[in-house]
Structure 1
Amino acid sequence: MERHEEYKDSHIPWVGEVPAHWEVRKLKTLVSRKSETGKPDGTVLSLYRDYGVIPKDSRSDNHNRTSENTDSYRVVGIDDLVVNKMKAWQGSLAVSQYDGIVSPAYFVYRLTSSKIFPRYLHYATRNASYIPEYKRLSGGIRPDQWDLSPDGFSQILYLVPPYEEQVRISEYLDRILDEIDALIEATVKSIELLEEYRRSVISEAVTKGLDPNAPMKDSGIEWVGEIPVHWAVEALGLRSTMLTPMRDKPEDLDGPIPWVRIEDYDGKHLSCSKAGYGVSQETIDEMNLKVYPVGTVLCTSSCDLGKAAIIAEPLVSNQRFIGIIPGKDLTSDFLYYLMLSNSERLNTLSTGTIQANLSRKSFEHLKLPFPSIEEQTQISRFLDQQTSAIDELITSRKEIVSLLSDYRRSLISEAVTGKIKVPGVK
């Protein structure tokens, strides 16, 4: 990409040199904060890091509740700059293309300078190289409660090219980013299809077996349907023992025996804490903590139900799990795949209005199909091969999404800091 003919020092540490004909302006010379309220019937807007400002009801993944009384919601107009004061340090700010209202937790700014093109300001404020500065200007007890300082925010320096050049930069980014976003969306969709296929392969194998010609019978389990005639149907508690963890969290987590959380799940086997958490034998004895033996299938019993992993090293966990220890007629590998295939069912059995929970008794009474040990081993080996191949495809596609996302961020940064001269700029 072509560069500009002459550059100068911007005196902005995270930006460096910029085109010599560009201005450097404080945000407060471009916008002013507005606090207009009193339009409770306005369209409620949400601010996404990935999508910017959009109507809240346009997406199904926004679980933030709208207040019953929206009289105090701030009014947003087209071309207003909207900032989530608690998540600005994560890049949650954008110029709106919609009229509407937002939560009082947002800052809203009106453009006051004729020198700034709204769409350019949108990209300039979302430049990833500014994130550390937003973080520096945010403070609080813990990150999820950090608030951006409005005074500090107003003092931030931004680059202001000639107006026509801003328009060209914005049009270029709109066009190229639309193409990148389409590629990302298509790749993410292919990942979702692969994950769905993975689940179907597992479900088919652990409920129908590997012999397509095997005679079948009704399992008596509504969500399973028919199973091979020689398979048994029993409650999980008859083929295993359950180990439930203590509710109390150890104060000292510097010991050698891993103490794991849901965040530590990463594949079929689980052997360590990603955060390095662990407990000592002394803590285990004092608190009577339950240690899961190798071969235990550790399943989530709260919040994110349906996850499972085989314990590869003795460890302990927080209270959001249940350890299922296979008996003599059940292998750890088959049980692992069997529990994965029942993730949807586990969620329907859960209780709790705020977060899903599943009791030990529910796990023990769960009716499941069981083939012989020999057939369990064959099915597990088959699924190891099949899921490994699918996982490789998923990993490669996730890498593509990551590369495209990185390129997207770098393109915005290079365009709004003048490191590249976009087509159409003289």
Structure 2
Amino acid sequence: MAFPRYDSYRDAGVEWLGKIPSDWSLETIRAVTQLKSEKGQPDLQVLSVYREYGIIPKDSRDDNHNATSLDTAGYKVVSEGDLVVNKMKAWQGSMGVSEHTGIVSPAYITCKVNAKRVFPKFLHYLLRSQPYIGIYNALSYGVRVGQWDMHYEDFKHIPLPLPDRLSQERIANFLDQKTAEIDEAIAKKQRLIELLKEQKAILINQAVTKGLNPDVPMRDSGVEWIGEVPAHWEVKRLSFLAKLLQTGPFGSQLHQEEYIYGGIPIINPSQLANGIIIPDMETSVSEKTAERLSRHKTKVGDIIFARRGEMGRCGLTRLGQEGFICGTGSILFRPNELADSGFLNAALSCDFIKNNLEFVSVGATMDNLNTAILSKISVPVPPKTEQNRIVESVMLIEQEFSRIFSVQQQAIARLDEFRQVTISDTVTGKIKI
């Protein structure tokens, strides 16, 4: 859909803003807001500042792991319509005008918005638009990216192109509707991806527990959560399939201060996803430290298990990943000649294994896995040649679904880009609605 432009434009006098509609004014943040630092209301709900969602109640989501202080009397009070800025993450767009009353960290910038001069939701969209995020980036300082800080003295001078207040309200209402439509389209794509993931899991589960021949005679495996398996298959505990099964180094053997950037990767649970090892260059050690921990070095074909947190998370050591170090939170499993490592990795990544591991894991506050528990897990074991054929089939399934996922994710990226461009062009006057 093509939108019209305004009748005439003038130079904003600010390079990154370019031209703005001739009848729009140019104000600063300081001109339409007032810095506030009200405290002393610890009973109000705690609010969080999200890049994606703006200002929302902290307890409305379970992915915010920042601890709330035991004493919130020093937290800043936020009223509906106030501007809140996480100055440490402003460069990511972590700010917004709140639709809630509550309290936020005393480290945040809080401002009362002059609602007579600026429509709060318009300001919300404007300050979170892409051109402004680029400016926050330029105004943020620090040694490490995660610790960048933007000072209010710089923030308050940022210019704002403003139409009359009635037009601001009309633009905000338009963007509410338009972004809701785009968000729903994105949500449909994401739901489709989840359904496809379920379908993929079913196909892989079928291959590793029932084989590739639907007409083969079946028998009861003797393991409730495996069910029937082909009659010529065996069912074995992992202990009978292991050449090596050991936990990573104890905490006393590997300390946080020994981590370096760009060294030999340490494989902790966070580096395991969907049967794949994804090394993190910030979680690595020097060659000297790696040599000291040589008994924990991986070989091609080794499977690394997460031993805490999400049960069943594992990854196969592939070519180019040999010599990595199995981390403190992980278990190293080296299959013997009875099992193909690719087959075992596929089987051990299946939901029926994950569910069983969650059932037998130990831990009061977090599930924990150990070698004794893992060694007792039973898996179906076809003949070696059949394992190889199943691995090839699983690889084809993975490749086909990866292609489908890529198409859907590209569509989501295009929708998200359209969302950002629509917001930016509308609030800066590049298009007229």
Instruction: Describe the SS at the equivalent of 2:39.
Output: coil
Partner of residue 60 from structure 2, selected from 49, 58, 66: 58
AA of the residue aligned to 1:299: F
What aligned pairs does 1:151-300 form with structure 2 within 5 A after superposition? 151-240=153-242, 241-242=244-245, 244-246=247-249, 248=254, 275=281, 284-285=290-291, 288=294, 290-300=296-306
Instruction: Give the drift of 1:217.
Output: 4.2
Instruction: Give the drift of 1:127.
Output: 1.0
AA of the residue aligned to 2:319: A
AA of the residue aligned to 1:79: G
2:119 corresponds to 1:114: no
Instruction: Give the drift of 1:134.
Output: 2.0
User: Which residue of structure 2 aligns with residue 418 of structure 1?
Assistant: 429
Whether the 8 Å CA contact 1:245–1:318 is kept in 2: the answer is yes
Give the percent of matched residue pairs that are identical in Structure 1 and Structure 2.
35
Cα separation, 1, equivalents of 2:116 and 2:80: 15
What aligned pairs does 1:246-395 form with structure 2 within 5 A after superposition? 246=249, 248=254, 275=281, 284-285=290-291, 288=294, 290-303=296-309, 305=311, 306-313=313-320, 314-317=322-325, 319=327, 320-341=329-350, 342-351=353-362, 357-395=368-406
What aligned pairs does 1:48-127 form with structure 2 within 5 A after superposition? 48-112=50-114, 114-127=116-129
Instruction: Describe the SS at the equivalent of 1:109.
Output: strand
Structure 2, unmatched stretches of 5+, are: none
Cα separation, 1, equivalents of 2:111 and 2:385: 68
The CA RMSD over aligned residues, in Å, is: 3.2
Whether the 8 Å CA contact 1:307–1:343 is kept in 2: the answer is no
User: Which residue of structure 1 aligns with residue 49 of structure 2?
Assistant: 47
Higher deviation after alignment, 121-130 or 71-80: 71-80
Cα separation, 1, equivalents of 2:220 and 2:28: 72
What is the TM-score with the length of structure 2 in the denominator?
A: 0.84
Q: Deviations over 1:272-331 (max 9, x none)?
A: 857499888776545536432222233334455513234223231351443322211101
What is the TM-score with the length of structure 1 in the denominator?
A: 0.85
Instruction: Give the drift of 1:124.
Output: 0.8
AA of the residue aligned to 1:233: V
User: Which residue of structure 2 aligns with residue 408 of structure 1?
Assistant: 419
Structure 1, unmatched stretches of 5+, are: none
Instruction: Describe the SS at the equivalent of 1:18.
Output: strand
Instruction: Give the drift of 1:225.
Output: 3.2
Aligned CA distance change for structure 1 residues 197 and 67 (closer, same or farther; 3 Å)? farther
Aligned CA distance change for structure 1 residues 131 and 345 (closer, same or farther; 3 Å)? farther
Q: Deviations over 1:50-79 (max 9, x none)?
A: 222233343344444545544333322221
